[in-house]
Chain A
Amino acid sequence: MGMYLQLLVIGLSMGMIYAMIAMGIVLLIRAVGVLNFAQGELFMMGAYVTFALSVQLSMPLWAMLIVALIIFCLFGALFMFSVYWPLRKSTWSATIIISTLGASTVIKEIAKIIWGSVPVVQPPIIKGVLELGTVRLEYQYLFIIGIGLLLIVGTFLLFDKLYIGRVMQAAAQDKYSAELLGISTVVTTMLTYMISASLAGIGGWLVSPLFLVSTSLGSFMLKGFAGMVIGGLGDVKGAVLGSLLIGVIESFSTLFTTTYKDAVVFLVLIIVLIVRPQGFFGQKISEKA
Chain B
Amino acid sequence: MSKKLMTVLSLLLACVMLLAACGGTTTEETEGSEASGSDDPIRIGVVTTLSGSNSGHGEYCKEGAELWKEQVNANGGILGRPVEIVYEDNGETDQSYVNAMVKALSSDDVCAIFSNGYSSQVALVCPEVENYEIPLIAGCSSHALIESGYEYFWMLRLTDQYVSPAMVNACADLGMTNPAILHVSDSYGQGMADYVEKALLDKGMTVALKISVSEDESQFTPYLTQIANSGADGLIAINHQDQAAVVMMQVDALGLDMPLMGCSQYASALAMDTAGEAANGWYSLADWTCEVDTEEGKAFVEAYRAAYNRDPDMQSVCAYDAMQVIGAAIERAGTDDPKAINAEIEKTNGLKGAMTTYTFNGDHSLGTTIFMVQTENLSGKLTGIVNR
Contact = CB atoms under 8 A, between A and B. Distances in A.
Contacts of B340: none
A7 interface: yes
Interface stretch (A169-177, A254-262, A266-274): A254-262
Contacts of A124: 253
Given A14-B219, A121-B276, A255 B253 contact: no
Nearest to A141: B221
A110 to B, nearest CB: 15
Contacts of A254: 222-223, 226
Interface stretch (B210-218, B348-356, B365-373): B210-218
Chain A: number of interface residues, binned into ranges: 20 to 34
A3 B232 CA distance: 14
Contacts of A117: 51-53, 55
Nearest to B184: A259
A186 interface: no
Given A2-B229, A255-B226, A259-B213, A214 B221 contact: no
Contacts of A11: 222
A258 B274 contact: no
A208 to B, nearest CB: 11
Contacts of B218: 211-212, 216
Q: Which of B51, B185, B229, B274 has the most CB of A within 10 A?
A: B229
A104 interface: no
B53 A258 contact: no
B254 interface: yes
Contact of B274 (A119, A134, A215): A119
Contact of B53 (A216, A251, A255): A216
A138 B253 contact: yes
A105 B56 CA distance: 22
A223 to B, nearest CB: 11
Nearest to B213: A258
A3 B276 contact: no
B141 to A, nearest CB: 21
A10 B221 contact: yes
Interface string B260-279: 00000000000000101000
Interface in A219-264: 219, 251, 254-255, 258-260, 262
B254 A136 contact: yes
Interface string B25-49: 0000000000000000000000000
Interface in B234-254: 242, 245-246, 249-250, 253-254
A117 B55 CA distance: 7
A140 B245 CA distance: 18
A36 B250 CA distance: 32
B96 interface: no
B212 A258 contact: yes
Contact of B225 (A10, A210, A212, A214): A10
Q: Which of B51, B211, B213, B219 has the most CB of A within 10 A?
A: B219
A211 B253 CA distance: 11
B242 A211 contact: no
Contact of A212 (B226, B253, B255, B274): B274
A121 B252 CA distance: 14
Contacts of B246: 211-212
A258 to B, nearest CB: 5
Interface of B: 51-56, 185, 211-214, 216, 218-219, 221-223, 225-226, 228-229, 242, 245-246, 249-250, 253-255, 274, 276
Interface of A: 2-3, 6-7, 10-11, 14, 116-119, 121, 124, 127, 129, 134, 136, 138, 140-141, 210-212, 214-216, 219, 251, 254-255, 258-260, 262
5 smallest beta-carbon distances between A and B, as pairs = A3-B229, A254-B222, A6-B225, A118-B56, A211-B218
Given A210-B221, A212-B245, A258-B223, 15 more contacts: A3-B226, A7-B225, A10-B225, A11-B222, A117-B51, A117-B52, A127-B253, A129-B255, A136-B254, A136-B255, A138-B254, A210-B219, A210-B253, A216-B218, A254-B223
21 contacts: A3-B229, A10-B221, A11-B222, A117-B52, A117-B55, A119-B53, A119-B274, A121-B249, A129-B253, A136-B228, A136-B255, A138-B221, A210-B250, A211-B246, A212-B242, A216-B218, A219-B216, A254-B222, A254-B223, A259-B185, A259-B212
